[in-house]
Amino acid sequence: MSDITPTSPALPSQPISQPTPAEHSIYVGDLPVGITEEELTKVFGQASPVVKISIGLPKKNTDQVQRAYAHVTYSSAEDANAAIREFNQTEFSGKPCRVTKSTKGTSKGLPEANIFVKDLPLKLSALAFHDTFSAFGEILSSKLAVDHENVSKGYGFVQYATAEQAQKAITETNGSTLDVEGADKPINTSLFVKKESRPPAREFTNLFFKNLPTNITQEKFTKTWSKYGVITSAFLTLGKDGKPTGTGFANFEKASAAAKVVKATKKKAPNGVHAVRALSKAEREHHQSTKAPSAPEVSA
């Protein structure tokens, strides 16, 4: 009798699940803590069926308000790209979210492919901003800066896939006026430079003021701006008739005081008054030699 070695019954072969490609997923940041999968599916499922959603919280940072984030996965890269375009800066609890390509397991965008755009029309929407710059290459993420009421601040950022695409966008758009509603001046497009990499801001104490009331007195002018710091000298520009022309200069003891005035008038100019750094004599001469004469914006 021959020996028979028992064998295990053959098991049916099981399909091996393949990991979902990263390009099928999107990253959603700046979400409110407590956001649910149901809430996210309601929004992001409008474009195409959602395969998977995972929600997480970043490590606690006492200096910032904690926000949730999520990774939303679709069945194709096309669906993911459509969701980025359509839902970027959608509001959740009154705050716009940030939708980008998922970088989970991949390297983040190249610094040399990140551009900064300013002087944008205030009526430009996040979608129109994205679409305008998508003409120059693959956008990994775009963000239009908005205030607490979700109104544009006039500047934004675009992260491209390659440095060549970013350079093309800069070359094609810098100094041009966009063909969109409300566009009335050229935009400024450049590579984005992180704050820590920028040269230190130049300190100054002498300011030039414009749009001052023409009936303002020297005493009133000095008193109004001395609340920001000690003024060492101040005077109003007078016309041939001896009356104020609506411009003037004030020199502060400390650069920090002058900077506060510039910031204050930029944020909320009282009666349209505007203060800027007064140009030096050399800067004034250069300015006058390269441009047509205009209202003075420099110190005497």
What residue type is assigned to position 46 of the chain? Q
- Report how far apart, in Å, the C-alpha atoms of 115 and of each of 22, 126, 158, 172 are: 24, 16, 5, 13
Question: Over its length of 300 residues, how does the chain's per-residue pLDDT go in tens digits?
Answer: 444 444 444 444 444 445 557 788 999 999 998 999 999 999 999 989 999 999 998 766 555 567 899 999 999 999 999 999 999 989 998 888 989 888 765 556 788 999 999 999 988 888 889 999 999 998 988 999 988 777 888 999 999 989 999 999 999 999 998 887 778 889 999 998 877 666 666 789 999 999 999 999 999 999 999 999 999 999 999 998 888 999 999 999 999 999 999 988 877 666 778 899 888 777 776 656 544 444 444 443
- Report how far apart, in Å, the C-alpha atoms of 17 and of each of 14, 73, 82 are: 9, 15, 25
Listed in sequence order, the residues at least 6 apart from 279 whose beta carbon sits closer than 8 Å to its beta carbon are 208, 287, 297, 298, 299
Q: Are 102 and 77 in contact (CB under 8 A)?
A: no
Q: Which fold has domain 21-107?
A: Alpha-Beta Plaits (3.30.70)
Spatial distance between the Cα atoms of 280 and 111, rounded to a whole number of angstroms: 35
Which CATH code is given to the segment(s) 206-290? 3.30.70.330
pLDDT of residue 181: 78
Q: Which fold has domain 109-198?
A: Alpha-Beta Plaits (3.30.70)
pLDDT of residue 5: 46
pLDDT of residue 206: 94
221 burial via Cβ count (<10 Å: 0-12, 13-18, 19+): buried
- Report how far apart, in Å, the C-alpha atoms of 201 and of each of 39, 70, 81 are: 44, 37, 39
Domain ranges of the chain: 21-107, 109-198, 206-290
Q: Are 115 and 160 in contact (CB under 8 A)?
A: yes
pLDDT of residue 250: 95
**Residue with tokens 């300013």, as numbered in its chain:** 118
Q: Are 163 and 113 in contact (CB under 8 A)?
A: yes
